[in-house]
A = this chain, B = another copy of it.
Amino acid sequence: MMCLEYDKAILIVDMGFRMPEEDMPGVDYIIPNISYLRGKEKNILGVLFTHGHYDHIGAVPYLVGRLGNPPLFASGLTRGIIIKRQEDFPHQPKLNITQVKDGSRINLGPFKIEFFKQNHNISDNLGIFIQTPIGNIVHTSDFKFDDNPVYDLPTNFKKLKEIGSRNILLLMSDSTGAEEKNHSLSEKDIMENLEEIFKQAEGRVIAVTFGSLINRIQQIIALSEKYGRKVAVDGYSMKTNVEICKKLGYIKSHKGTLIKINQINNYPDNKVTLLCTGAQGEGQAVLMRIANREHRFVRLKKQDTVIFSSSVVPGNERTVQVLKDELYRQKSKVFHYKMMDIHAGGHGQQEELAEMIRIMRPKFFVPIHGQYSMLVNHAELAHAQGIPEKNIAVVENGQVIDLTAKRILIERKPVESNYVMVDGLGVGDVGEIVLRDRQTLAQDGMFVIVAIIDRNTGKVRGSPDIISRGFVYLRESRQLLQDTRKKVIEIVNRTAGSGGAVNWSYVKDNVRNNIGDFLYTRTQRRPMILPVIIEV
């Protein structure tokens, strides 16, 4: 999510979420921190969306209401996806969302906006040209250049060059591919390789990819038709997207090609394709359920061909390997992008990024999207294309750029941008402390000690209760528990004194520290120790 501000007028581009890091167990998403916009809601003239991927639209249900429900602008498919998703959040306001397309122009206060088509791996992706009082800005959206896309128009270089001729003050360009050499693969090459697999497949084809990779889904459907196969689509995100795209005309298929998943066994194996989710080895996705023999209608067979037409998201390598192994065990034929080019990313690589810079010939350059290392590499690329270093600003989340017709500056003071985590219904209520506790609990479990103290004697009554999980297997640790109880009694009786006013937090600290050390000596583990002391 990015804000452009001129005088008081605010224009927002995109409103996505990111997935949690590995050290954030239980967190669903991370959404943009909108503290800076608090109190400025009435100045928000609109939100422009570049395309329908969740990292660009996913935070809408969480934020749009809190921003005063401003007008939204999105292409047909993007709009369809945003509206569909909003249905999952019933208490949100109705969206005020205008459809735009390649060539659409809108005026919002000081901003004169024109959208232009860009190739990516979802249809209806739009770059944005913004005329402002200080100069013209181009936002590329996620993009790649493709002269031979499949079921899509090739990159319109003529149009891009025309935009580039408008004296561009600032180019903001997608950096995701900035560490990859050369040019991204054309979808045509992918199509040809996929076709080779379809040609040879003797049994069913099971194609897994991202539910959001609309172009690839279209390719698989088209190839299935060419080779006389029906297509069953399975997996929530995939089914939803195919449904939206079919309805809006972004996926084309012959009548009768798409069948329901429960009909898949009505056809000979060499007459069906299963298009489904699970390319990342996600536990609940369709392919994993098939591999685990938990799918309602599909069991793997020896002649099945499984195509992983997607990259592996960093961090998922091991789960994908586990899944792949299981497919091999069940004797499927497996094809993945390391074996042949059956997947292309949606992001331009170094050649394309350099070309974009040459086309736009901007005065100033800001690399956007991607990890910091990618931003830096993109900045170096821009410098190599002749943009002076002082005209390039590499910024991270929360940093503010101060731009005039003459210079680009990074403001010293960033706006608030710490992570806002969504966990269940909670938005922003899971913070450092909760996460640290979850990490500690995961490492060595927890150990609750409940001791009842007799108010009259100041001594522990009976035997303390111990509740422990994730620490040791309790049934096999009776001696340890018995020794611990004895130690607790001793510590409490010693530190609580003999009746009268007792410093309970002193007693608890003693229990926590001493029992912690005791358990560590015995096990070399450090469970979270939680003493509860109750006077009766």
B525 touches A426 (CB 8 A): yes
Q: How would residues 407 to 443 of chain A score, 1 for a CB under 8 Å from any chain B CB and 0 otherwise?
A: 0000000000000000111100111011101111111
User: Smallest CB–CB gap between A455 and chain B, Å?
Assistant: 11
A22 touches B319 (CB 8 A): yes
A318 to B314, CA, bound (A): 6
A107 at the interface (CB under 8 A from B): no
B321 touches A433 (CB 8 A): no
A441 to B443, CA, bound (A): 10
A470 touches B523 (CB 8 A): no
Inside 8 A of A77's CB, which chain B residues have their CB? none
Q: A318-B22, A373-B334, A429-B472 are in contact. Are A467 and B434 (CB under 8 A)?
A: no
A329 to B455, CA, bound (A): 59
A83 at the interface (CB under 8 A from B): no
B328 touches A530 (CB 8 A): no
A179 at the interface (CB under 8 A from B): yes
Inside 8 A of A55's CB, which chain B residues have their CB? none
Inside 8 A of A479's CB, which chain B residues have their CB? none
Inside 8 A of A322's CB, which chain B residues have their CB? 21
B467 touches A433 (CB 8 A): no
User: Smallest CB–CB gap between A383 and chain B, Å?
Assistant: 14
Q: A329-B372, A425-B523, A523-B424 are in contact. Are A441 and B446 (CB under 8 A)?
A: yes
A438 touches B470 (CB 8 A): yes
Which residue of the partner chain, among B437, B443, B476, contacts A26 with CB atoms under 8 Å?
B443
A534 at the interface (CB under 8 A from B): yes
Inside 8 A of A429's CB, which chain B residues have their CB? 472-473, 476-477
A315 at the interface (CB under 8 A from B): yes
A536 at the interface (CB under 8 A from B): yes
Q: How would residues 452 to 485 of chain A score, 1 for a CB under 8 Å from any chain B CB and 0 otherwise?
A: 1000000001000101011111001100000000
B534 touches A452 (CB 8 A): yes
Inside 8 A of A534's CB, which chain B residues have their CB? 450, 452, 465, 534
A265 at the interface (CB under 8 A from B): no
Q: How would residues 311 to 329 of chain A score, 1 for a CB under 8 Å from any chain B CB and 0 otherwise?
A: 0001101110110111011
Inside 8 A of A26's CB, which chain B residues have their CB? 442-445, 470, 525
A528 at the interface (CB under 8 A from B): yes
Max chain B C-beta neighbours (<10 A), residue from A338, A442, A461, A522: A442
A373 touches B321 (CB 8 A): yes
B469 touches A423 (CB 8 A): no
Which residue of the partner chain, among B329, B423, B445, B536, contacts A438 with CB atoms under 8 Å?
B445
A153 at the interface (CB under 8 A from B): no
A442 touches B445 (CB 8 A): no
Which residue of B is nearest A519, CB measured?
B424
Inside 8 A of A445's CB, which chain B residues have their CB? 26, 434, 437-438, 441
A536 to B433, CA, bound (A): 35
A524 to B473, CA, bound (A): 29
A532 at the interface (CB under 8 A from B): yes
Inside 8 A of A472's CB, which chain B residues have their CB? 426, 429-430, 434
A448 at the interface (CB under 8 A from B): yes
A445 to B338, CA, bound (A): 39
B179 touches A338 (CB 8 A): yes
In the complex, chain A residues 14-31 whose Cβ is within 8 Å of any chain B Cβ:
21-22, 25-26
Which residue of the partner chain, among B315, B325, B372, B433, contacts A315 with CB atoms under 8 Å?
B315
B448 touches A536 (CB 8 A): no
A321 to B314, CA, bound (A): 9
A445 to B430, CA, bound (A): 11
Inside 8 A of A442's CB, which chain B residues have their CB? 25-26, 438-439, 441-442
Which residue of B is nearest A443, CB measured?
B26
Q: A434-B445, A438-B442 are in contact. Are A372 and B325 (CB under 8 A)?
A: yes
User: Smallest CB–CB gap between A335 and chain B, Å?
Assistant: 12
A163 at the interface (CB under 8 A from B): no
A431 touches B473 (CB 8 A): yes
A530 touches B448 (CB 8 A): yes
In the complex, chain A residues 340-368 whose Cβ is within 8 Å of any chain B Cβ:
none
B373 touches A469 (CB 8 A): no
A22 to B448, CA, bound (A): 26
B446 touches A469 (CB 8 A): yes
A156 at the interface (CB under 8 A from B): no
Given contacts A22-B318, A325-B373, A424-B523, 14 further A-B contacts (CB under 8 A): A21-B318, A21-B322, A321-B371, A321-B373, A328-B372, A423-B444, A423-B523, A423-B525, A426-B523, A426-B525, A437-B445, A446-B446, A448-B532, A467-B530
Name the 6 nearest CB pairs between A and B, nearest first. A424-B524, A442-B442, A314-B317, A441-B441, A325-B372, A438-B470
Give 6 CB contacts A-B under 8 Å.
A26-B470, A315-B318, A426-B524, A434-B472, A438-B470, A450-B534
